Amino acid sequence: MHKRLLLIACIFSQVLVNAQEIGVQLYSFRNQIPKDIPGTLQKIRAMGIKELEGGGSYGLPLADYKKMIDDNGFKMVCVGASFDKLQKELSSVIAEAKAFGAKYVMCAWVPHKEDDFTVEEADKAIEVFNTAGKVLKENGISLCYHAHGYEFRPFEGGTMFDYMAKKMNPKWANFEMDVFWVKHPGQNPVALLEKYAKN
């Protein structure tokens, strides 16, 4: 389990933090950024935030968008990649991460039936994450999966998340915790961190 915590919720006040940097997932500003890319980035920086999880360039040439990121003093820690891209366009995922100087690639969703998440779907995800994660690691990038709650369905005396954690090779793939999506299905975020502290 990654020790780096990315702040998923928006922060609207200046926060003094001594223990670690506070980052933000740019998806939190998905409605604002397309309307005013430079203005939104400046507002985020004015909050005292320096680290970002992002990906894409909102229709701008990548070099121009990267310059805005750099000019505002941001560090792009992580870029997002769809499950499909991890399977079919991994080279472009690697290229984007390297262009931003990101050390992490995050996948936020495993395709599955709306009302279920089957062991077959979990096995497919494990295969994709282990395979893509190995290639990413060979390129100096770590893969993490951002769970969204459906993984905590009961399975074999634990949860589907436990099953995935046992089968995913921690050398190649790991998890990014979103506290809301752990708490929402009734799990304890602290207990989960402690349970997988050595992973």
Domains and CATH numbers, the chain: 23-195 (3.20.20.150)
Per-residue pLDDT band at 115 (split at 50, 70, 90):
confident
From CA 122, how far away is CA 113, in angstroms rounded? 12
Predicted confidence (pLDDT) at residue 74 exceeds the cutoff of 60 = yes
Q: What SS3 state is found at 5? A: coil
Q: Are 65 and 104 spatial neighbours (Cβ–Cβ below 8 Å)?
A: no
H/E element holding 134? helix 119-138
The CA-atom distances, in angstroms, between 140 and each of 53, 103, 136, 172 are 17, 7, 6, 11
Mean pLDDT (whole number) for 48-69 = 94
Share of the chain above pLDDT 90, in %: 82
pLDDT at 86: 97
User: What are the tens digits of pLDDT across the range 100-109?
Assistant: 999 999 999 9
Q: Are 163 and 154 spatial neighbours (Cβ–Cβ below 8 Å)?
A: no
- Flag the least confident range among 4-13, 36-45, 119-128, 148-157: 4-13
Per-residue pLDDT band at 199 (split at 50, 70, 90):
low
Nearest CA among 127, 121, 111 for reference residue 168: 127
pTM score, two decimals? Answer: 0.85
pLDDT at 10: 31
Crossing angle (nearest 10°) for helices 90-100 and 62-71: 40
pLDDT at 181: 92
Q: Which residues, at least 6 apart from 12, have a Cβ–Cβ distance to it below 8 Å?
A: 47
Mean pLDDT (whole number) for 18-30 = 81
Higher pLDDT, 173 or 199: 173
- Strands 104-107 and 142-146 turn out to be parallel
Predicted confidence (pLDDT) at residue 9 exceeds the cutoff of 80 = no
Per-residue pLDDT band at 11 (split at 50, 70, 90):
very low
Mean pLDDT (whole number) for 38-53 = 95
pLDDT at 20: 66
- Flag the least confident range among 10-19, 100-109, 112-121, 167-176: 10-19
